Amino acid sequence: MAKTELTIILPGLAAILEQKINSSIIPTYLTKIISKSKFRQDSSGLSRLLFNHFSANPITGSDLPIVSLEFEGDSYLRADPCYLHADRDRLLLFSDMMDLTNDESSALIAEIQPLFTDFDGILSQSSTDGWLLQLNNMPEVTFSALPEVSGKGVESYLPKGRERQDWIRLWSEVQMAMYASEVNQRRIENNKLPINSVWFWGAGEFEFKESPWKKIQGESTLLKQLAAKSEIPLQSDSDFSTETLSAGRYLWLADEINIDDDWLKQMQAFDDAVLRPLWQYCRQAKIAKIELQIPNHGCYQLTPLDCWKFWKS
């Protein structure tokens, strides 16, 4: 098992680690790994991390080529429904947990479809999540990936490029049409957030590299798509056991830490069930390398030699 390498992606941990007040209550084995490891700062979000684990070249632009996982050789953009919230002098975008039904999607798409006529665009529901915009030609515009905008002010993420003004105008017209929609009036009456905008993103080509992974595990639509493209079956079970490890490289997307719940209890359970046995395996040189990747924070890389560096407390 000496050539076993394990990469664990642990979402939701960045906000906890970056609060110094939490440093004294971080569980034992996570503390050991953090203190002994080589650290590389990386502000990439979860979606970008996943893409780059399968990409021939690191994706460094503002967008992520999500559409290329569904279509090849066609001109498509994602045009995902979202909620814009005015907060003082900025607009905050939210796209998660929108609870949008198929009937609501169909009605909203029908209402705003005429706005895309000048762009020769056809709006439809995606086969996965969200909406798709089919175009005759891709615009000379650079967009920003929705997962990296959600929860933030949109001003610095608006389209850039020669045709940017046309797409910002279209974006504004869609907002005005949605604001007057009866669908949104009913949603508000039912205590739901209105769908008052769309977000254009997902353009670009994606070149897969030959997958180095022996096993891929985790619950994620994007990870499932990437695994399918690399022809490696995805195991959706979120639990992971060191007893199943053999020579090879493993990629595991762990469940996200819910910081709005009892996050310390969640972390302690993860520390006991996963990190403690992994630490022991690495210390005994039964694992050649462990990488703990934390989206929007960085990567901790641990080798057997690192475990024995007594001068690192």
List Cα–Cα distances, 227 to 4, 200, 201, in angstroms: 20, 25, 22
Query: Does residue 56 surpass a pLDDT of 50?
Result: yes
Question: Alpha-carbon distance 54 to 286, whole Å?
Answer: 26
Query: Does residue 2 surpass a pLDDT of 70?
Result: no
Interacting residues of 201 by C-beta distance below 8 A, sequence separation 6+: 63, 64, 66, 77, 78, 80, 143, 144, 145, 146, 149
Is the separation of the CB atoms in 267 and 257 below 8 Å? yes
pLDDT of amino acid 1: 46
pLDDT of amino acid 285: 92
pLDDT of amino acid 313: 67
Of 43-52, 78-87, 121-130, 256-265, the one with minimum mean pLDDT is 121-130
Query: Does residue 259 surpass a pLDDT of 90?
Result: no
More confident call, 310 vs 287:
287
Whole-number average pLDDT of the chain = 91
CA-based nearest residue to 102, from 124, 77, 76? 124
Query: What pLDDT, in 10s, does the model give residues 105-145?
Result: 999 999 999 999 999 999 999 866 689 999 999 999 999 99
Query: What pLDDT, in 10s, does the model give residues 174-217?
Result: 999 999 899 999 999 999 999 999 999 999 888 888 888 998 99
pLDDT of amino acid 312: 73
- The percentage of the chain sitting over the pLDDT mark of 70, rounded to a whole number, equals 96
pLDDT interval class at 97 (50, 70, 90)? confident
Question: Alpha-carbon distance 250 to 246, whole Å?
Answer: 9
CA angle, corner 99, sides to 98 and 104, nearest 5? Answer: 100
This prediction has a pTM of 0.91
Question: Alpha-carbon distance 45 to 261, whole Å?
Answer: 21
Q: Region 41-65: what's the mean pLDDT?
A: 95
* Category of 252 on φ-ψ map: left (φ > 0), alpha (ψ -120 to 50) or beta: beta
Query: Does residue 294 surpass a pLDDT of 80?
Result: yes
Query: What pLDDT, in 10s, does the model give residues 60-96?
Result: 999 999 999 888 767 999 999 999 999 888 999 999 8
pLDDT of amino acid 263: 92
